[in-house]
Structure 1
Amino acid sequence: MITGDGAYIKKINRGLILSKIIEHKAVSRADLSKITGLNKATISVQVADLLNDHLIYETQQEHNVVGRRPILLSINRSAGYVLGIDLDYKYIQYTVSDLGGHPVDFHAVELETENYHDILKILIDQIKAYQEKWSASTYGLISVTIGIHGTVNNDERINFVPTYQWQNIGLKEDLNKELDIEISIQNNANLSAYAERVYQYHESNNLLCIMLFSGIGVGIMIDRKLHKGFHGYAGEMGHMIIRQDGDACNCGNRGCWELYSSEKSLLKKLKKHLHRTPLSYDDIRQLIEEQDPTTLEILEEYIIDLSTGLNNIINMYNPETLVLTSEILKMYPDVIEKIKSNLKSTVSEYGSLALSELGKKSCSMGACALAIQRFLEVPEVVLTLENTVVKK
């Protein structure tokens, strides 16, 4: 049983009311009372406070029925903004979102360096630029959440990033020395799983998101909550060994799954066998459309290796929703059915298997969504996107 003083109960009620206003987009005080189970007096006091804090605003619904038009409450999306950053290998993606979870600014840059201090300076300069750009709003740029393609402990300190070979890095502390803003460091796959749950799969309580880009990471949602493990390192399934005498991995082992099923490994193999460097996503799309035999053969082998790892994960977690995040898989016709045909184990059970619609933006968007939840202090957020947001 949860107990607490009046201030604690008020905080819980405030979070519940805010979360329902976000979810329903526009809702009356009377409907809020019905939805939350809170009495009208409590709703009235809380709404007054939220209006005074400029977090919500009132509008009147237009209708042709005789009588007073109901006053609706909506989240004040422009009251403040949050910044989500996806720090990948030689690539940084920035997404700024309003308080309704709608991206309002998107920017991606390729890096010419692997040096930590050079990248740190790039991050500091860009964050300062965003702080200046969004300073005119009521709360300005509220916070920054950064997704790391490696292990991050529960104190938000970077343990290891295989692609950069960074170990025991205090990125949060280094940023705080130069910036006056709340900083959070999270694992990229966790943020992507959070984005899928918040933006796409609202009803899924147990969701796994498999990121297949520079490496492989798995974000795990169990009973609607991120599962991070004892130290915070859960989900590093890219380093699950699928070949005992396989290739050497940066982690120190051999035969890791990501050496055979990440997009990085697939691109490397395609370049080698096609004798084509560079090889872009557009090139691969064209090769698939032209039914190039070498490309199709490599993709079929890739799907078998990918399915091997998926079988293991499904056996471990019995997920309700399994989301694959890959730009190349989205190009390949009937790929979900091809993968399903390889998931033949009689003990492997899952609810649904799908390709991510958020794609490469899932990490930075999940970072924004988590920042919104924390700022508004709501139990959970349910957000939606216009179709144009996730298009390239």
Structure 2
Amino acid sequence: MITGDAAYIKKINRSLILEKIVEEGMISRADISKATALTRATVSAQVADLLDEDLIIETQLEHTSVGRKPIMLSLNAKSGYSLGIDVDYSQISFTISDLLGKLVFEKSIECKSRAYEDILQILIEQINLLDEAYSDNRYGIIGVVIAIHGLVGKDEKVHFVPRFLWRSVNLKEDLEKACKLDIHIENNANMSAFAERVFLHHETNSLLCATIHSGIGLGMIMDNQFFRGNDGFAGEIGHMIVVPHGRPCSCGNEGCWEQYASELVFLENIKEERNLSSFTYSDLEMLVNEGDQEILERLDNYIYYLSIGLNNMINMYNPDTIILDGEILRLYPDSLKKLEAHLSSSISHYRKLSVSTLGKRTVRMGACAFAIKHFLRVSMLNLKYQEA
């Protein structure tokens, strides 16, 4: 039984009711009372407040049986928007969703500069433009979550971004000085893991999500909470050494996993070896479809190195669900079977291994969902993934 002062108990009850409404999509007051073990009087009082705040709406269902038509409650998805931003190598991507995570707007800006001040100015300009453009409802943009491909502390300060060489920058504070919105800074892999849990994998509370695009990061959700480590830096698994005295890495070590299994390094190596001006995922897909033997051998070698780190992850954390977020795995036929073939240890235990189906917007969708979670003040969200 929850005990405490009246304000605290009211806050907890509100969270339970909102979480159940979001989870069910549409639910009656009576069913909320049954599902949460709250009294009908408590549910009615809380619902009245939520209706006054435009956070939920009522719908009267049509039915033919005798008796009163049931009144159903659902989240008012159109009462606000969330903004998720992915600050990646060479590109900043923006996504706006409604309060149920449905995509409303997407935009990407190419960014040639890696300087902190330049990227800060782009973020300020775009956030303020979007804040003005999406102020057509009660709450407007309810929060901004920015995903960073580097070390983000529990204090939300950016401690190090390897590819930008940023060290100890307070992006949150700098943005809050120039923008009127609620700003949160998170690690990109955490946001990928959150997207997978919120939109697709409702049945698990033990999930690992490895992002393997420009580097390799690991988002970890245990008992529906992020596992962050002592300072918030847990999950930098791309800098686990898999080849002693191997390729040099920007982190200062040699032989880091991401030097052998990140997609950016894979594509850049082929570009340099073949003396090409560029080499993209589309170029790779074309060569795979053409049956280019050298490329197929390189991909098999890439899968092998990917499996080394994956094996280590499984043995360290014994997860229920593992998600790999990468384009190469999506375009290379039977990549998952090839990967699983290398995971033959009798010690490694996991229930499900899959490749993300959310595509390149995974990080941004996770960021949008995380902003919604903050705004609604619920412990977890279960949303349906919806295209715009």
> Normalising to structure 1: TM-score of the pair?
0.97
- How far does residue 57 in structure 1 lie from its aligned partner after superposition? 0.5
Match of 2:237 in 1: 237
SS at match of 1:328: helix
Q: Is the 8 A contact 1:274 1:294 kept in 2?
A: no
Match of 2:23 in 1: 23
**1:244 corresponds to which letter in structure 2?**
P
* Pairwise CA RMSD: 1.2
Query: Which moved further from structure 2: 312-321 or 58-67?
Result: 58-67
1:297 to 2:304 alignment:
no
Query: Tell me, which stretches of 5 or more residues in structure 2 are unaligned?
Result: none
Alpha-carbon deviations, 1:234-273, whole Å to 9, x = none? 0000000001110110000000000000001110122234
Task: Give the distance between the partners of 1:39 and 1:168, measured in 2 at CA.
Answer: 49
Match of 1:225 in 2: 225
Match of 1:380 in 2: 380
Q: How many residues align?
A: 388
- Write out aligned runs for 1:47-196 (5 A): 47-196=47-196
Runs of 4+ with >6 A deviation? none
Query: Which moved further from structure 2: 57-66 or 170-179?
Result: 57-66
Task: Give the distance between the partners of 2:104 and 2:363, measured in 1 at CA.
Answer: 16
SS at match of 1:86: strand
Query: Tell me, which stretches of 5 or more residues in structure 1 are unaligned?
Result: none
Task: Give the distance between the partners of 1:361 and 1:63, measured in 2 at CA.
Answer: 40
Task: Give the distance between the partners of 2:231 and 2:267, measured in 1 at CA.
Answer: 33
Task: Give the distance between the partners of 1:356 and 1:17, measured in 2 at CA.
Answer: 30
**1:23 corresponds to which letter in structure 2?**
E
- How far does residue 65 in structure 1 lie from its aligned partner after superposition? 2.9
Q: Is the 8 A contact 1:325 1:355 kept in 2?
A: yes
- How far does residue 102 in structure 1 lie from its aligned partner after superposition? 1.3
Query: Which moved further from structure 2: 150-159 or 104-113?
Result: 104-113
Query: Which moved further from structure 2: 281-290 or 318-327?
Result: 281-290
Q: Is the 8 A contact 2:2 2:9 kept in 1?
A: no
1:314 to 2:321 alignment:
no
**1:166 corresponds to which letter in structure 2?**
W
Match of 1:45 in 2: 45
- Structure 1 residues 10 and 297: CA distance shift in structure 2, 3 A: same
- How far does residue 2 in structure 1 lie from its aligned partner after superposition? 5.0
Task: Give the distance between the partners of 2:106 and 2:24, measured in 1 at CA.
Answer: 26
- How far does residue 66 in structure 1 lie from its aligned partner after superposition? 3.7
Match of 1:288 in 2: 288
Q: Is the 8 A contact 1:270 1:298 kept in 2?
A: no
**2:81 corresponds to which letter in structure 1?**
Y
Match of 2:270 in 1: 270
1:363 to 2:367 alignment:
no
Match of 1:203 in 2: 203
**2:260 corresponds to which letter in structure 1?**
Y
Match of 1:343 in 2: 343
- How far does residue 274 in structure 1 lie from its aligned partner after superposition? 4.0
**1:144 corresponds to which letter in structure 2?**
V
Q: Is the 8 A contact 2:268 2:279 kept in 1?
A: no
Alpha-carbon deviations, 1:8-53, whole Å to 9, x = none? 1111011110011111111111111111111111111111000001
